[in-house]
Chain A
């Protein structure tokens, strides 16, 4: 069984008197040690799938399993490091306090946490700001803190929702490096993105979702076929499907 299993997920939301289905029978399996890119246009259902995987929202039918455990069990989240698309923090706290909170709630002990906090903040080039309130940080710095929070407890699975959005080229390079480091340690990375260059560079497999349905799941070359770039293949696929 895969590290993350989306098993026939269906989800609809109520807008006024109407219900709109945002995920239809989504099935997907991510294997241990792979970097999986989850692609789709805006409103395709990427964030909804991730939100279900973290139990922020509940599916109408189907389930998500993390290392065989259903996400409705809080213990399943022990294995996960999560970074939201637009991270928000307790703004008066410092990176040290935030990472301490993240580590302790993930079951780390204080000694281990102290060392890990220094290491992570050093990797994220934020060590100089360790005791500065987060409210004074720029968007890019907050994004890096969010990544630090996701990695503080050395999880086996990283789930990243648009990790590159809002980052400058240096920041994107840093995130890419960290994702590849994660892969070297045989850990699993599942991330959604719009930036297809990063996908080509990082991912072992991709999943394409459109209007709540999985269109493709497999390696990049299999999807790209005769197109020169992944972007061209992606645009072509989505345009064709939208016209159907």
Chain B
């Protein structure tokens, strides 16, 4: 546990001082400022517009952290052999992966906490400028926090996917490409399966429906974590759904990290 903590600490220090992170934060601040300005241009559903733009900015920041900082740092460790300075000590490879993942999760958490707070500020400023109409109907702080938590959880799943691909691929760009593909599929697979199963617009073959359902079990359903509609429209949240989605998110990340460990333990690092 001591080694994991030490690796987490150096990963966090190295990442949090990175200029990449500074750039991502500046970009996000600009997006939140733009959120207030853009929302002013709308006359209907102002609350929903504000929430959508605010969370889009959060997503962009979170994904940038994963793609440019997470994949970048891990890839540098593996492909530039920075990892030698860690595993030449009495540290196991599993401790290294868990520590590294922990450190990057911590960075993601801190970034999400800071940007989440900035998002709240932008919502606040927006509602002041628009005399309260910027806040969605039945706005509730617990729902906002839950939405932010699930947003973070979806990023955690993407981070574990990024870890897996960085370890198995030979270059950083391949890892980025694979992770992006899975992210894209993960966000759209639920809608595709729904359309196919309902058969309202098309009548697909049974084989195709089964195939897509199979694929949907394999790829992460990232849309499941997107509960901002309940926040934007002031809808009640289904606790059982939230609970199972939480289990699903942590479970998916856990399995991916386990797979990453299995691959990394056997890998020649040279």
Could you tell me which A residues sit within 8 Å of B by CB distance?
13, 47-48, 51, 54-58, 74-78, 80, 82, 84, 86-93, 97-98, 101-102, 104-107, 133, 146, 149
**Chain B minimum-CB-distance residue to A134:** B14
Which residues of chain B are within 8 angstroms of A104 by Cβ–Cβ distance?
2, 6
Q: CA–CA, A82 to B90, complex, Å?
A: 12
What distance in Å separates the Cβ of B125 from its nearest Cβ neighbour in chain A? 33
Which residues of chain A are within 8 angstroms of B10 by Cβ–Cβ distance?
90, 93, 97, 101
Say whether B270 contacts A56, CB under 8 Å: yes
Is B3 interfacial (CB 8 A cutoff)? Answer: yes
With A75-B90, A88-B80, A107-B90 as contacts: A51 and B270 at CB distance below 8 Å: yes
Say whether A77 contacts B90, CB under 8 Å: yes
**What total of chain B residues lie within 8 Å of the partner, measured CB to CB?**
28
- Tell me the total A-B contact number using a CB cutoff of 8 A: 83
What distance in Å separates the Cβ of A154 from its nearest Cβ neighbour in chain B? 14
Which residues of chain A are within 8 angstroms of B86 by Cβ–Cβ distance?
105
Q: CA–CA, A78 to B81, complex, Å?
A: 20
- Which of A56, A82, A133, A146 has the largest count of B CB atoms less than 10 A from its CB? A56
Say whether B14 contacts A93, CB under 8 Å: yes
Q: CA–CA, A57 to B80, complex, Å?
A: 15
**Chain B minimum-CB-distance residue to A87:** B85
Q: A51-B270, A84-B84, A90-B82 are in contact. List 12 more A-B contacts (CB 8 A).
A: A56-B87, A77-B90, A87-B84, A88-B81, A88-B85, A90-B11, A90-B14, A92-B18, A93-B10, A101-B10, A105-B6, A149-B85
Q: CA–CA, A13 to B270, complex, Å?
A: 11
* A105: contacting residue among B14, B76, B90, CB under 8 A: B90
Could you tell me which B residues sit within 8 Å of A by CB distance?
2-3, 6, 9-11, 13-15, 17-18, 76, 80-82, 84-92, 266, 268-270
What distance in Å separates the Cβ of B10 from its nearest Cβ neighbour in chain A? 5
Q: CA–CA, A56 to B85, complex, Å?
A: 11
What distance in Å separates the Cβ of A144 from its nearest Cβ neighbour in chain B? 14
Say whether A102 contacts B84, CB under 8 Å: no
With A84-B84, A97-B13 as contacts: A58 and B268 at CB distance below 8 Å: yes
Closest 10 CB pairs of A and B: A92-B17, A57-B268, A90-B14, A82-B88, A105-B89, A88-B82, A74-B90, A56-B269, A92-B14, A88-B80
